[in-house]
């Protein structure tokens, strides 16, 4: 039997030259963004990758490792899924404006838009509302486009002008427009009515018996809403429903929604931000509920970071956002996937 031809490694000269223009552009965008933050009086920080808790969201999965101490004791640590916990501890310590180009890690994620190890650009403004970081996102996305000279973003047949005034769209309006669902009519007391949403979504998505309110919400979002966002211009999807608040505070005057937003271009999610929750007791309740659901679904749970919860109670009012830097560079360079814009592929992959 003839042996298969060997696959050339990613550092093969010819293969590498195909990616080199994207990588040079990545460097230029990185420099431009660092200059932008410096001009706005932000401090660049570097926070620890190894954490006792990698985050407490049901569907985020973190690689784990074992650390051997000088005394011979072994302890389980995780590779972070986000620098959020550490950055918020810095806010509690008194930092006012910080940003980080953070290497983060996620199990169960690989695809055209996903890598198991990737770069997240995350930043925070103490004492400023979340509208301020929304404006930052729009400015930085436009800066990336101007730096590369791409003109319009394009991805899988969709296009968007990153310099045009963005569309501001609430999640409730998006569900009504694209799925014909009265989303807020399924929320009461900050909780989602699973059966009400199941009835409303029955003809839109496949609903199964053990789907939660959040499961049904996610199905409608992914199948009917997200593909329509960021067409022609950026879309800022904001006022997320309370059951999807994550680490965001409730909107003043309307407990059905939270100060959470996401930014989309060409159907691609680029950023996820919050008006930050500073109620430690409420954050503990949310984390515990998320870990109970992770245990039910996946048979595992991550510990709560007690140091982080203590920091939440001492944090000033703040806003923050995480932006997928590889995805931004992909759109700003016209690359077909994030694989083309990272300097080295995931370990063990040839391309």
Pull the structure tokens for residue 213: 């309110």
pLDDT above 80: residue 3: no
Burial classification of residue 91, based on how many CB atoms lie within 10 Å of its CB (0-12 exposed, 13-18 middle, 19 or more buried): buried
CB of 338 closer than 8 Å to CB of 118: yes
pLDDT value of residue 13: 85
pLDDT digits (tens, 9 = 90+) for 113-157: 889 999 999 999 999 999 999 999 999 999 999 999 998 999 999
Q: What is the DSSP string of 220-278?
A: HIIIIIGGGTTSEE-EEEEEEEGGG-TTBPEETTEEEEEEEEEEEETTEEEEEEEEB--
Helices (H), 40-103: 84-93
CB atoms within 10 A of CB 101: 16
pLDDT digits (tens, 9 = 90+) for 96-107: 999 999 999 998
pLDDT digits (tens, 9 = 90+) for 153-211: 999 999 999 999 999 999 999 999 999 999 999 998 889 999 999 999 999 999 999 99
Task: Report residue 212 CA to chain centroid gap.
Answer: 22
pLDDT above 70: residue 14: yes
Q: pLDDT band at 60, cuts 50/70/90?
A: confident
Mean pLDDT is lowest, of 101-115, 272-286, 292-306, for 101-115
**Residue range 81-88: mean pLDDT, rounded:** 96
pLDDT digits (tens, 9 = 90+) for 225-250: 999 999 999 999 999 999 999 999 99
Pull the structure tokens for residue 293: 């659901």
Q: pLDDT band at 294, cuts 50/70/90?
A: very high
CB of 97 closer than 8 Å to CB of 43: yes
57 vs 236, residue with greater confidence: 236
Helices (H), the chain: 13-39, 84-93, 130-148, 171-179, 194-201, 213-220, 280-298, 306-314, 325-333
Mean pLDDT is lowest, of 61-65, 71-75, 114-118, 238-242, for 71-75
CB of 134 closer than 8 Å to CB of 261: yes
Pull the structure tokens for residue 65: 């490792």
Q: pLDDT band at 300, cuts 50/70/90?
A: very high
Angle between the 13-39 and 325-333 helix axes, to the nearest 10 degrees? 110
pLDDT value of residue 1: 56
pLDDT value of residue 2: 62
pTM metric for this prediction: 0.94
Rounded to an integer, what distance in angstroms lies between the CA atom of residue 18 and that of residue 139?
Answer: 29
Pull the structure tokens for residue 49: 């990758």
């Amino acid at each position: 039997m003839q042996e298969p031809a060997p696959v050339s490694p990613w550092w093969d000269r010819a293969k590498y030259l195909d990616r080199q223009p994207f990588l040079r552009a990545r460097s230029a965008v990185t420099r431009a963004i660092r200059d932008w933050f410096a001009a706005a009086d932000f401090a660049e920080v570097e926070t620890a990758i190894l954490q006792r808790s990698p985050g407490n969201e049901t569907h985020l999965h973190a690689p784990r490792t074992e650390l051997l101490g000088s005394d011979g004791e072994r302890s389980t640590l995780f590779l972070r899924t986000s620098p959020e916990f550490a950055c918020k501890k810095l806010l509690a310590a008194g930092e006012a404006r910080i940003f980080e180009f953070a290497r983060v890690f996620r199990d169960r994620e690989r695809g055209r838009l996903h890598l198991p190890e990737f770069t997240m650009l995350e930043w925070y403004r103490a004492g400023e509302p979340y509208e301020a970081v929304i404006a930052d996102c729009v400015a930085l996305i436009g800066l990336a486009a101007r730096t590369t000279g791409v003109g319009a973003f394009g991805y899988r047949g969709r296009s968007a002008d990153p310099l045009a005034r963005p569309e501001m769209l609430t999640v409730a309006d998006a569900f009504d427009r694209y799925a014909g669902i009265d989303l807020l009519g399924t929320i009461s007391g900050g909780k989602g009515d699973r059966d009400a949403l199941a009835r409303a979504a029955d003809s839109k998505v496949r609903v199964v018996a053990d789907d939660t309110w959040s499961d049904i919400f996610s199905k409608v979002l992914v199948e009917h809403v997200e593909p329509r966002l960021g067409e022609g211009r950026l879309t800022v999807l904001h006022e997320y429903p309370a059951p999807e608040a994550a680490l965001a505070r409730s909107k003043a005057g309307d407990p059905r929604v939270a100060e959470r937003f996401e930014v989309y271009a060409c159907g691609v999610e680029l950023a996820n931000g919050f008006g930050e929750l500073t109620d430690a007791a409420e954050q503990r309740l949310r984390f515990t509920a998320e870990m109970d659901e992770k245990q039910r679904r996946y048979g595992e749970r991550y510990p709560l970071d007690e140091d982080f919860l203590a920091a939440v109670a001492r944090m000033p009012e703040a806003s923050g956002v995480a932006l997928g830097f590889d995805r931004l560079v992909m759109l700003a360079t016209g690359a077909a996937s994030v694989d083309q814009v990272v300097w080295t592929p995931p370990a063990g992959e040839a391309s």
